[in-house]
Chain A
Amino acid sequence: MNNKEKKATRQSYGEELANLGESNNKVVVLDADLSAATKTSIFAKKFPDRFFDMGIAEQNMIGTAAGLATCGKIPFASTFAMFAAGRAYDQIRNSICYPNLNVKICATHAGITVGEDGATHQMIEEISLMRTIPNMTVICTSDDTQTRWAVNEIAKFEGPVYLRLCRLATPKIYENEKFEIGKGIQIGDGTDATIIATGVVVAEAIGAMKELRDRGINIRVIDMHTIKPIDEDIIIKAAKETKKIITIEDHSIIGGLGSAVCEVLSENYPTKVYRMGIKDEFGKSGKAEDLLKYFKIDKNAIIEAVTSKD
């Protein structure tokens, strides 16, 4: 993990989307007046004819993307997670997922790590919203390498995808790893505990793993970049091989990754699961790093959870 090369997944998304535009002319991009923040502005500058700024009108943006997809385009629609998955939920469900249209909803600024903008802009419920819709695939990437892979992979993948991206710059975790939709990445093979993480907090989990190793505690981290379909095998294997299962996400503990892991284990290998995340409350303004600490989803909180007696 390279702490010097920090980059936000929204930035990696924007850069790679502009690259994708060159190799795939079916790709069209829509944004809702946030292209500078979602980084679709990079694509817009390069391919103005295939970029559509729909204004502050997310419901229409999603519906338009659906119409474009019926004509063979591969629309990438971006705005903040709050307004994509929240504001336009009905449009995502009925105009995209029900007809199983090939639209990629790439939502940035997910989670409390949005920071200073505060609760109204901190989407912490949408993994739950998106994964319950039939036909939808849900991906949440953790670093630059993985995000670049995801952008290219979802363009090849036929069907609706929700790609969850973040504002906070995080360390580079991967170099040349191979990823696959629906397959988690196991990092380390300790048996004292498993931390199943997704997105921006994967780096926190890896940081905790390294510190714990110095104390003689060996854990493993599972980077669950695909939340739906979830990798059941890697979860069941971890439950069998390790003493403790902990999930962590920059999202509500209700309905997100933690819930998805519990669903798998309760049906296949009943195991106590400790869910770290936002505990049924709204976020608040502050620096992203301070908020990770405040909401106890940072490295130190993970170390505490691993070493506590329960």
Chain B
Amino acid sequence: MENNLEKIANKIRINTIKEVYNAKSGHPGGSLSIADILAVLYFKEMKIDPKNPKDENRDRFVLSKGHCSPALYATLALKGFFSVEELKKFRNINSILQGHPDMKKIPGVDMSTGSLGQGLSAANGMAIAGKLDKKDYRVYAILGDGEIEEGQVWEAAMASSKYKLDNLCVFIDNNNLQIDGSIDKIINPYPIDKKFESFGFYVIKINGNDTKEIEEALTRAKEVKGKPTAIIAKTIKGKGVSFMEDSVGWHGKAPNEEEYKIALKELGGEADE
């Protein structure tokens, strides 16, 4: 039985495909892999109010792998931060929806990202500010598994641990693919769990395409005191569209009309008028 969050994740996927198809560019593979995590965060976990996107007590989210903006934008639109109609203008010169997330232009985006490896540092800053101000908001971030090849991520990981940021929860989207191939063949970042553990994180390993497991992990993360949590989410790149699944070629490519129709059919979506 498909639960409500799975339905939302599916809607995120349908809209992701539409955005990338309409823009004729963008990054579908990694967007589809994180749809379930975004669905749980935005529709179950996070304290956020689309009518008051700058509420200083809100939970924060940083999409460190900023190229997966189509999934984030779909999520924000479905949540009501802006109209679903705006998604049609993704990457358009007249749109707020930039290729990579822009916190100045897009309601609901807490940090501008795009240049890989920088999001965890920003999330740390938000979590430290929360502690300084004695606020109980939580900070979430999603990093790509290829992204953690950036050295800054580990600089940041040391700091998350030093400052005991138990209000911080980081997802590693472990779809095992980066543009040039499998992450273990390009420059192997495994074992990811042991690395984060040795950097002082509480580590949880889950199937990142299973909304139940995501929910449970987030509940556990909130109980952890004195250290940050890293959720290593095993996912399938391109999840939900058969020909995109586990295929490195769909990292940053838009489907043609035929592929678009097949993708929507598989996801149970309908093409826009």
Contact = CB atoms under 8 A, between A and B. Distances in A.
Interface of A: 28, 49-50, 52, 54-55, 57, 59-73, 75, 90-91, 93-95, 98-100
A75 B127 CA distance: 14
A100 B102 CA distance: 11
B219 interface: no
Interface string B80-112: 000000000000000000000011100000111
Nearest to A25: B132
A59 B56 CA distance: 26
Given A67-B122, A95-B112, A59 B129 contact: no
B125 A67 contact: yes
Contact of B103 (A59, A61, A63, A99): A99
A99 B121 contact: no
Given A64-B124, A68-B125, A99 B112 contact: yes
A73 B129 contact: yes
Contacts of B60: 70
A94 B114 contact: yes
Contact of B156 (A63, A69, A71): A63
A62 B126 contact: no
B247 interface: no
Contact of B132 (A50, A63, A91): A50
A57 B125 contact: no
Contacts of A90: 115, 118
B155 interface: yes
> Range of interface residues on chain B?
35 or more
B111 A67 contact: yes
23 contacts: A50-B132, A52-B128, A57-B152, A57-B156, A63-B122, A63-B152, A64-B156, A66-B121, A66-B122, A66-B125, A67-B62, A67-B124, A68-B128, A68-B129, A71-B125, A71-B130, A72-B129, A91-B152, A95-B118, A95-B121, A98-B102, A99-B104, A99-B111
A255 B118 CA distance: 27
Given A66-B125, A95-B115, 17 more contacts: A49-B132, A57-B156, A57-B159, A63-B121, A63-B152, A65-B125, A66-B111, A67-B121, A67-B122, A67-B126, A68-B125, A71-B125, A73-B129, A73-B132, A91-B152, A95-B118, A98-B102
A61 B124 CA distance: 10
B158 interface: yes
B53 interface: no
B72 to A, nearest CB: 15
B123 interface: yes
A88 B111 CA distance: 18
Contact of A64 (B117, B122, B130, B133): B122
